[in-house]
Amino acid sequence: MTKALSPPSHPIDHLARRGAPDAPALLIGDRVTSFADLDAGVGRLASWLSEQAGGPGERVASWSAKTRSACLMPLAAARAGLIHVPVNPLLKPPQVQHILADSGAKLLVTNGSRGEALGAGRPEACALEDLKIAEEVIDSPGEGLPPSLAEPQDLAAILYTSGSTGRPKGVMLSHANLWLGAESVASYLKITPSDRILAVLPLSFDYGQNQLLSSWYAGAAVAPLDYLTPRDVVKAVARHEITTLAGVPPLWVQLVESDWPHDTAALLQRLTNSGGALTPSLIDAMRATFPKADIYPMYGLTEAFRSTYLDPSLVASHPTSMGRAIPHAEILVCRPDGSIAADDEPGELVHCGPLVAKGYWQDEERSAERFRAAPPSSIYGGTAVWSGDTVKRDAEGLLTFIGREDAMIKTAGNRVSPTEVEDAAVASGLVYEAVAFGIPDARLGAAIILIVRGASGAEDAGALAAYLRQNLPNFMQPQTIEWRAALPRNPNGKLDRVAIAAEWIEKVTA
């Protein structure tokens, strides 16, 4: 077996030096931070963090909106030899308390009101510092720390999953994971120094953090945005002349429903999606709204960052495909015994290569379930991420998502992917969003429940049921279809499937 060589990596804080010194790196409001200012600010913030948190290897957490200091934290902590723990600003105190305790964070940088909200639940060993001080440190005189000499496999960050399916897990990411992820995305998106990227996703989300890192790898400028409404996104695109926008499907639904001035929509050159599949009808709406933009559907998981993307040239002909492996990733479709599945044969997606994370923080049991030896056919070998996602590969090497094993609905002797039912509902044109799940049923084993948000705001249950009868086999027909004006989302903006199912079950059993 030929062994693949891991590509070269650099300490992640060196991204502060990728762009021309006087080129813009960060755009927040009217403030423009050049790459020279970014590098100097990272050094000063790193020196201060080291003084507050102690020696290398200690964990430092940040919990805030997308301030300048929050954007510099991933690089500053790494430059100080510390491990950054970004916390989603939408989380509530009990969730934050768990993350601080689980990570063993020695320092939390946040604002006063958030710090007060933690109250006595903040671990005693975790010191608290105000964001205002961090901002003052960035602007203070002095040299700060020089670029780090970290090794590629040194731990740089712990990113916690949203916890929608259980207690949050901390995914350990090395300098190599972050650097090569930034290089990969900047490469296949063809980002150049002239690009401006709008970062609307949480920086605690691997997809959101990569907006910073891949932009800076390419020497481009990034504009972080904490938006309240889709209109805020429209205004920011116009204000900063944004060329690149990343989102998750629920955000795209909101954006294509918004009013976009022609000149503003024409600024966008590329749209990227992860965190859920784009439906053909949503792709059509995105094309109509942003006619000059290339669309990049992507698939990823925090344990390996990103696995696949679909080239924009293939979106029209293969709208439901996940595409092929991104640079630095080896993606295999495997049978349970680790052998490679044949073309069009369903199998588990297994991610091999240098983007594979270092496991879950202090959780050997769950690490052993997800991070296992790579299949014998892997050119990388070592540890792989066994995703739990069922996919299939066609003769052209393009992958298609089928579903998660733990989400499959086993009804009337058939295994049904919720995604297949949801896609059919959205394809009707009557609904914008749909969530399908199974509930125990004495006759069927499991009955299918479908929760939808209507396209027109009005219920048209008869028409939707008729469409599904025409387009899905009998065993895939929902037993119940319920219409909602809004659907709950988790902190990363994705539809909260667990909450939606739990609400429905609670209602019918009350």
User: pLDDT (tens digit, 9 = 90+) per residue, 109-164?
Assistant: 999 999 999 988 899 999 999 999 999 999 999 889 999 999 999 999 999 975 43
What pLDDT was estimated at residue 405?
64
Q: Are residue 126 and residue 206 in the same domain, yes or no?
A: no
Does any domain span residue 398? yes
Domain end: 388, 404, 420, which one?
404
Phi then psi dihedrals of residue 89, to 5 deg: -65, -15
Local confidence band at 414 (pLDDT 50, 70, 90 cut-offs): low
The model's pLDDT over 359-382, given as tens digits with 9 standing for 90+, comes to: 999 999 989 999 999 999 999 999
What pLDDT was estimated at residue 166?
47
Question: Strand 59-63 to strand 127-130: parallel, antiparallel, or no bridges (unpaired)?
Answer: unpaired
Q: Are residue 449 and residue 492 in the same domain, yes or no?
A: yes
**Higher pLDDT pick, 67 / 496:** 67
**CATH number, position 109:** 3.40.50.980
Local confidence band at 419 (pLDDT 50, 70, 90 cut-offs): confident
Q: Are residue 46 and residue 96 in the same domain, yes or no?
A: yes
- pTM, 2 dp: 0.84
Does any domain span residue 356? yes
Domain end: 150, 183, 206, which one?
150
Does any domain span residue 334? yes
Does any domain span residue 6? no
**CATH number, position 472:** 3.30.300.30
Q: Are residue 309 and residue 396 in the same domain, yes or no?
A: yes
Q: Tally the domains of the chain.
A: 3
The model's pLDDT over 47-106, given as tens digits with 9 standing for 90+, comes to: 999 999 988 999 999 999 999 999 999 999 999 999 999 998 888 888 899 899 999 999
The beta-carbon contacts of 306-313 under 8 Å, at least 24 apart in sequence, are 306/181, 306/184, 306/185, 306/206, 306/207, 306/210, 306/274, 306/355, 307/331, 307/349, 307/351, 307/387, 308/399, 309/188, 310/398, 312/270
CA distances in angstroms from 307 to 10, 329, 349, listed in the order given: 21, 6, 9
Q: Are residue 116 and residue 200 in the same domain, yes or no?
A: no
What pLDDT was estimated at residue 4?
72
Does any domain span residue 211? yes
Q: Are residue 141 and residue 181 in the same domain, yes or no?
A: no
Local confidence band at 175 (pLDDT 50, 70, 90 cut-offs): very high
Q: Which residues of 393-427 are buried (b: 16+ CB within 10 A; e: fewer)?
A: beeeebbbbbbeeebbbebeeeebbbbebbbbbbb
Place of tokens 């710090």: 115
**CATH number, position 247:** 3.40.50.12780
Q: Are residue 313 and residue 182 in the same domain, yes or no?
A: yes
Residue 214 to residue 220: CA distance in whole angstroms = 8
Q: Are residue 120 and residue 133 in the same domain, yes or no?
A: yes
Question: Strand 196-199 to strand 244-247: parallel, antiparallel, or no bridges (unpaired)?
Answer: parallel
Does any domain span residue 12? no
Q: What range does the domain containing 82 cover?
A: 34-150
Q: Are residue 271 and residue 303 in the same domain, yes or no?
A: yes
The model's pLDDT over 251-283, given as tens digits with 9 standing for 90+, comes to: 898 899 999 999 999 999 999 998 778 888 899
Does any domain span residue 45? yes
Q: Are residue 185 and residue 239 in the same domain, yes or no?
A: yes
Question: What percent of the chain clears pLDDT 70, i.e. is strictly above it?
Answer: 96
Does any domain span residue 446? yes
Domain end: 404, 419, 434, which one?
404
Q: Are residue 394 and residue 418 in the same domain, yes or no?
A: no
Q: Show the beta-strand stretches assigned E in 275-316.
A: 294-299, 308-309
Q: Are residue 392 and residue 416 in the same domain, yes or no?
A: no
Residue type, 83: I
CB 254 within 8 A of CB 95: no
What pLDDT was estimated at residue 164?
35
